[in-house]
Structure 1
């Protein structure tokens, strides 16, 4: 199984075909938040992250199943090969920014569902979660220049690293403690 995410457009097409009312980036954020918060890896993962027992299961070989498998593999990658599902770089900056903020909103929702009221976070993890919440509340500017492009790239990298940090706090650290005991 490849660690590469399916394309944003293939996930978008499948989301539309299943008539799910969620953007592809928000869906990926919710999936990653669920995983980072310690959510169970189960065939009904889509229902869990959407908090909808009636949600369909991702079909074998589908873009959504590929999204799930690649995301799980990326979180476990020791080289930190984790990526966010966002529109291509040739999409307008406002569209990419909105998708990044959607990703953050989804992440917070999935993380809250999996991690519960008081997840085991480090001080850095708590700060990262607070920063993700601020980004989730943001709205994109309609225009952008090279300076905005650079800021977008920095924010995207911050979000990527924050997700890895939170996964480390809630999944990897407890797993490591279990091995030591």
Structure 2
């Protein structure tokens, strides 16, 4: 399943008065799901820790975002995708969105797992690295964007994608495996 467009998510977010960017929302949703949170239509209330928020419309962009994200995380083909700006956006915009995504992820993950999630050593290290990315700020060196910066951003995006799958494996897939054994 493909993710809905950033503009569609943005439009529905404005209608629901959600105080987060599409990137932070997707990160929060993925953190919630990766930590074992339920895939429910009321996910913005869970992820943003505000029970007063309305549930998105069934079949709307935010509901499609939830369904696609849950399906991608559960799929064993590693086709999980981050919602980020188009590749032709500026490096500062894309890196800023990635850092927002990571901040959202940490919030949603913490809400679903609590303060002491059961993580592998690799999972704990990945979570620490995601926290460092969440604290980062995009550098604005004017219009100077070079190929090294582009390559570095692509590598960081891939790291984040794999880290999310690792954490989902630790918190959701490992728990499901333990249940099957019992």
TM-score category of the 2 structures, normalised to the smaller one: over 0.9
Report matched runs for 1:1-181 at 5 Å: 3-143=1-141, 144-181=145-182
Structure 1 residues 32-86: Cα deviation after superposition (integer angstroms, max 9, x where no partner): 0000011122232110001001111010111000000000000011101100000
- Listed as ranges, the gaps of 5+ residues in structure 1 are none
- TM-score for the superposition, normalised by structure 1: 0.96
Q: CA deviation at 1:16?
A: 1.8
Quote the Cα distance in structure 2 between the aligned partners of 1:30 and 1:177: 26
- TM-score for the superposition, normalised by structure 2: 0.96
Quote the Cα distance in structure 1 between the aligned partners of 2:65 and 2:41: 13
Q: CA deviation at 1:14?
A: 1.4
Q: CA deviation at 1:100?
A: 0.2
Extract structure 1 runs of 4+ deviating beyond 4 A.
Answer: none
Q: CA deviation at 1:7?
A: 1.0
Aligned residue pairs, count:
179
Q: CA deviation at 1:133?
A: 0.2
Query: Superposition RMSD on alpha carbons, in Å?
Result: 0.8
- Listed as ranges, the gaps of 5+ residues in structure 2 are none
- The answer to whether the 8 Å contact 2:39/2:66 transfers is no
Quote the Cα distance in structure 2 between the aligned partners of 1:40 and 1:78: 19
